[in-house]
Amino acid sequence: MTPRVTFAIAARVLAQLRRDHRTVAMLILLPAFFISLMWWIFHDSPRVFDQAGGPLLAVFPSIIMFVVTSVTTLRERSSGTLSRLFTMPMSKLDFLLGYALAFALVAVVQAVVVVSISLYLLGLDIQGSAWQLGVVAVLDGVLGAALGLFASAFAATEFQAVQMMPAIMIPQILLCGLFVPREHLPSVLHAISDVLPLSYAVDAVLGVAKGNGLTTGTGGDTLVVAAFILAALGLGAATLKRRTA
Q: What pLDDT is stored for residue 128 in this prediction? A: 84
Residues 24-51 have a mean pLDDT of 90
Instruction: Confirm if 107 and 161 have CB atoms less than 8 A apart.
Output: no
Asked if the model's pLDDT at residue 177 lies above 50, the reply is: yes
Asked if the model's pLDDT at residue 231 lies above 90, the reply is: yes
Residues 37-45 have a mean pLDDT of 90
Mean pLDDT of the chain: 85
State what percent of residues in the chain have pLDDT above 70.
91
Asked if the model's pLDDT at residue 245 lies above 60, the reply is: no
Instruction: Confirm if 104 and 142 have CB atoms less than 8 A apart.
Output: yes
More confident residue, 214 or 136: 136
More confident residue, 166 or 77: 166
What does the alpha-carbon distance between residue 234 and residue 213 come to, in Å, rounded to a whole number? Answer: 29
Tens digits of residue pLDDT in 71-126: 887 777 666 555 555 556 667 777 788 888 998 999 999 999 999 999 999 989 88
Tens digits of residue pLDDT in 141-154: 999 999 998 888 77
Asked if the model's pLDDT at residue 242 lies above 60, the reply is: no
Residues 152-178 have a mean pLDDT of 85
Q: What pLDDT is stored for residue 77 in this prediction? A: 66
The pLDDT-based confidence of 244 (bands split at 50, 70, 90) is very low
Buried b (16+ CB within 10 A) or exposed e, 134-143: bbbbbbbbbb
Tens digits of residue pLDDT in 42-73: 888 888 888 888 889 889 999 999 988 888 87
Q: What pLDDT is stored for residue 229 in this prediction? A: 94
Residues contacting 181, CB < 8 A, separation 6+: none
Where does residue 185 fall: left (phi above 0), alpha (psi -120 to 50 degrees), or beta otherwise?
Answer: beta
**Which residue in 159, 157, 197 sits closest to 176, CA to CA?**
197
Asked if the model's pLDDT at residue 216 lies above 70, the reply is: yes
Q: What pLDDT is stored for residue 209 in this prediction? A: 87
